[in-house]
Amino acid sequence: MGRVILNRILGSIPVILIVTLITFGLMRAIPGDVSAALGGVSSTLAERELIRKNLGLDQPWHVQLVKWYSGMARGDLGRSIFLGKDVTQATFERLPVTVSLSIYALVLTLIFGMITGVLAALRQNTWVDQASMMFAMVGVSMPNFWIGLMMIVFFSVQLGWLPTGGYVPFFQDPWGWLRSTTMPAVSLALLQIGLLARITRSTMLEVLRQDYIRTARAKGLPNYLVVCKHALANTMIPVVTVIGIIVSLLISGAVVTESVFSIPGVGQLLTSAILNRDYPMIQGGLLFVTLLLVAINILVDVAYAWLDPRVRFEGG
């Protein structure tokens, strides 16, 4: 088990290197750089050249890259050009916002997605099944920024129940946090609930047809044990893989949702960094997002081995 985790951690190093290389390359492939934004519209070419020189942007790409990697190896991701702060510090100020929003959305997804999927499977071809799958289809089909805007119009503007945007830290005011994050989390989760419900339903239907379910019934087990123990444990195996993907989608979806609800999270931080060509901020911020996703994938693999003894024993 420990070896499996170690292998996965070592295996993720090339992933991180490739992602950082791509971000580095892509950012420099976009025309324009930070000097225009920093110098303002009226700055002369000579002034911009000076800014570039001060920031080290006049050096060849490979020199900049080596400098960035050597900084990374020392744990120094550089300073944000615009925020005037350490990149690590700036990211960690915003990360809890995005992570707490994603976790909230994930909890909603797990609860509603799994329950809807399991109920639909158990009541296959009844109105419960059809209504659930219709709901899932609607959830999958609606873009989350549009749902967000509609919710703002309805719950904030018309009814005045919830704030239109902003963010209150959880540890400062839990109730305020709940008020500020519920609409973003719901708009983020709806699509994933639909996705998870559909996968859970089809997996569960497949599992319920298996011979071992018939064996469990033949032993005289009550229905709740057959469903909640024997069927669910097997349904979880493929579903966990999907949950890993859902978490990545939630984090990337948070970028859009954060701008709809003006939430100061990592998504917003990165969007403005990209617009300003704030290279150290973009590279550093994306590195943290990558690390987060890699960690989630390792967690999924661990959960997979924990759920399926056949995988667990293979790894030794």
| Phi and psi angles of residue 79, each rounded to the nearest 5 degrees, phi first | -110, 145
Cα gap 18→198, rounded to integer Å:
33
Give the shortest CB-217-to-other proteins separation in angstroms: 6
Residue number, 150 or 233, with CB nearest to other proteins:
233
Crossing angle of helices 61-73 and 2-29, rounded to 10°: 150
Residue 179 belongs to what H/E stretch? helix 174-208
Cα gap 134→132, rounded to integer Å:
5
* Binding residues for other proteins (CB under 8 A): 210-212, 214-223, 225, 229-230, 233-234, 237, 307-310, 313
DSSP string, 211-224: HHHHHHHHTT--HH
Residue number, 223 or 262, with CB nearest to other proteins:
223
Give the shortest CB-122-to-other proteins separation in angstroms: 14
Give the shortest CB-223-to-other proteins separation in angstroms: 8
Give the shortest CB-110-to-other proteins separation in angstroms: 19
Give the shortest CB-201-to-other proteins separation in angstroms: 18
Nearest to 136 by CA among 155, 118, 157: 118
Nearest to 247 by CA among 104, 118, 148, 95: 104
Residue number, 87 or 114, with CB nearest to other proteins:
114
- For residue 16, the Cα-to-chain-centroid distance in whole angstroms is 16
Residue number, 84 or 220, with CB nearest to other proteins:
220
Residue number, 181 or 234, with CB nearest to other proteins:
234
